[in-house]
A and B are shown apart, each in its own frame.
Chain A
């Protein structure tokens, strides 16, 4: 099992460019999440998907969109990147009925 995988690992964007961060899990988990981690800020939830076909906003959704493509895949899109979106992005998944979330290795995004 690969667990939770994320692509790309690194990305540099110019202000105004768009991109999609990809996440996939092979653990048959129902719920999936996108977080961002900034220095001194911990992990902040951007969007989550409790089950296939549903998505909900988290703490910091502005400037992002998500798509739950199927049970395995949950993508995060930046339509017009801003320097404030420079961060490390983590995807996570969770099995129904459990509390623990399992994280991917992260995508380090820099917006210049």
Chain B
């Protein structure tokens, strides 16, 4: 039973345009959500996060939106750059279980020059 779902395995966008990466979750106990970025042959790196008490968090070109009623979050990258090409993982943490993260399967973003 997959609790964190990234239903689209890949996305291709043009440089300068917006990239929107989506993530759905099934467990209503999740209270904190994170996005990680992973380049080939490297470990995942933390990108941005959001608490369930917020519906938006922004950091430079990256914005994460949370819709709790729909159990959906999205990562917006504006403007997209070729260096953003990577695999992006959505992750979630349980209430009272901050020791563990549950990861989605990842989505490969390609930004074309």
Taking Cβ atoms with an 8 Å cutoff, the residues of A that contact B are: 4, 31, 33, 40-45, 48, 50, 58, 90, 92, 94, 97-106
Contacts and interface: CB of A to CB of B under 8 A. Distances in A.
Contacts of A104: 43
6 closest A-B pairs by beta carbon, nearest first, are: A103-B43, A42-B105, A43-B103, A42-B103, A100-B46, A99-B32
Contacts of B45: 103
Contacts of B46: 100-102
Contacts of B105: 40-42
A48 B99 contact: yes
Contacts of B100: 33, 45, 48, 58
Contacts of B101: 45, 99, 101
B49 interface: yes
A106 B89 contact: no
Contact of A105 (B42, B49, B93): B42
Contacts of B21: none
Most buried by B among A4, A45, A99: A99
Interface of B: 9, 32, 34, 36, 41-46, 49, 89, 93, 98-101, 103-106
A71 B46 CA distance: 22
Nearest to B105: A42
Contacts of A43: 44, 89, 103
Nearest to A102: B46
Contacts of B103: 42-44
Given A42-B89, A48-B100, A98-B98, 14 more contacts: A31-B99, A42-B103, A43-B44, A43-B89, A45-B101, A48-B99, A90-B44, A99-B49, A100-B34, A100-B49, A103-B36, A103-B43, A104-B43, A106-B42
A104 B41 CA distance: 11
A100 B37 CA distance: 13
A94 B101 CA distance: 11
Nearest to A108: B41
Nearest to A40: B105
A5 to B, nearest CB: 10
